[in-house]
Structure 1
Amino acid sequence: MNKTYIIIFAFISCLSSVAQETLDAILQKYNQATIPYIHVEELHKTHEDVILLDAREKVEYDVSHIQNAIYVGYEQFQMQHITSQNIDKSKKIVVYCSLGVRSEDISEKLKKAGYKNVYNLYGGIFEWKNNDLPVVNPNNKKTEEVHVYSKEWSKWLRKGKKIY
């Protein structure tokens, strides 16, 4: 009888640890939820009507990015790159990175600069690709390759070819 309880307890413990390792949990751990999320399905329906900013590093962007996304970077981000483009501050802007952590930081900077309609792509380019949506290389050709940022984050990309 005790052996049965131990097995059940171990099974429940395993399920609990797996359940905690969700995208929601990761984003709650690293983000402050100061910027509203937009989900892949919604962005896909309207992405021609938004300004799409890629907040990953150049090496990640150069592997692939969402078509028409403007590279703004993270470590080298400069607000002047945005303001020099004379983007209407009421225009809908969606910022993305790998999962949605770095993009929240860049989105907060945009919000502080007066941009009023800024969203963070929930799950980033990984969720975009996981939903079978296309990414392009620097030559604007569709590719299956996606830079996964790190081994730790790579598990969140379930579709496409992982590039390190």
Structure 2
Amino acid sequence: MKHFILILIALFSVELSAQKTIDDLLKQYNDKGVPYISVEELAMPKTKAIIFDTREPKEYKVSHLKNAVCVGYDDFDLASIEKNYPNKNEKIVVYCSLGIRSETIGEKLKKAGYTNVYNLYGGIFEWKNKDFSVVDIQNNETEKIHTFNKTWSKWLKKGEKVYEKEEKLSKKTKK
């Protein structure tokens, strides 16, 4: 019995330590099918890219990266993207809260023939954690960040956390 308890404690400790960093979290959920771009690189004035926010509209309304286009996740419409962004060689950066949902959308873009797609490492959380500004739906700077839910909110270190208690995890995060 004593050995069984020690094994349980060891397994529990490994599970707790498995997600000490955003890097660990992203390794757990992503397969790097879409290469990452750092928040610092995207923030550089010379970096020209179309920026797609792959979070849900209610998250986008709270705050988003300036000039980002809300493309959603649950209702992502590839046909609309292809119509409005026909140049499949143009640089596109996708992001979400942390970079998990955005990888899925980035993979869909790549399968559709887009050749220059990047996933923002750490998403809007990392953007805010590194002191870059975000804007609300009226294009005013804000400190508010929709954190999807309380569980994911632990990854946002700066800014004001906003989430709805009853939100369900997206399909990809239920793994």
For normalisation by structure 1, the TM-score amounts to 0.87
Q: Which amino acid is the alignment partner of residue 90 of structure 2? A: K
Give 1:7's aligned residue: none
> SS state of the match for residue 158, structure 1?
coil
- 1:56-113 Cα deviation digits (max 9, x unpaired): 0110000000000000000010101211113311110000000000000000000000
- The letter of the residue matching 1:113 is A
Which one-letter code corresponds to 1:24 in the other structure?
Answer: D
Instruction: Provide, for residues 3-60 of structure 1, a one-character-per-residue CA deviation record: whole Å limited to 9, x for no partner.
Output: xxxxxxx9xx979944742111111111111110001001101576100000001100
Aligned twin of 1:5? none
List runs of 5+ in structure 2 lacking aligned partners: 1-8, 164-175
Match of 2:121 in 1: 122
Residue 6 of structure 1 is matched in structure 2 by none
Query: What secondary structure is seen at the aligned counterpart in 1 of 2:44?
Result: helix
Structure 2 equivalent of residue 133 of structure 1: 132
Q: Does 1:83 align with 2:82?
A: yes
Which 5+ residue runs of structure 1 have no aligned equivalent? 1-9
Residue of structure 2 in register with 1:104 after alignment? 103
| 2:165 maps to 1:161 | no
Which has the higher Rg, Structure 1 or Structure 2?
1
Question: Aligned runs of 1:1-164 on 2, under 5 Å?
Answer: 17-18=16-17, 20-46=19-45, 49-164=48-163
Contact 1:72–1:81 (8 Å) recurs in 2: no
Question: Given the superposition, is the C-alpha separation of residues 90 and 54 from structure 1 closer, same or farther in structure 2, using an over 3 Å criterion?
Answer: same
Letter in 1 for 2:146: H
- Taking the aligned partners of 2:41 and 2:116, their CA distance within structure 1 comes to 15
Between Structure 1 and Structure 2, the one with more helix by share is 1
SS in 1 for 2:103: helix
Corresponding residue pairs, total: 153
SS at match of 1:95: strand
Q: Which amino acid aligns with 1:63?
A: V
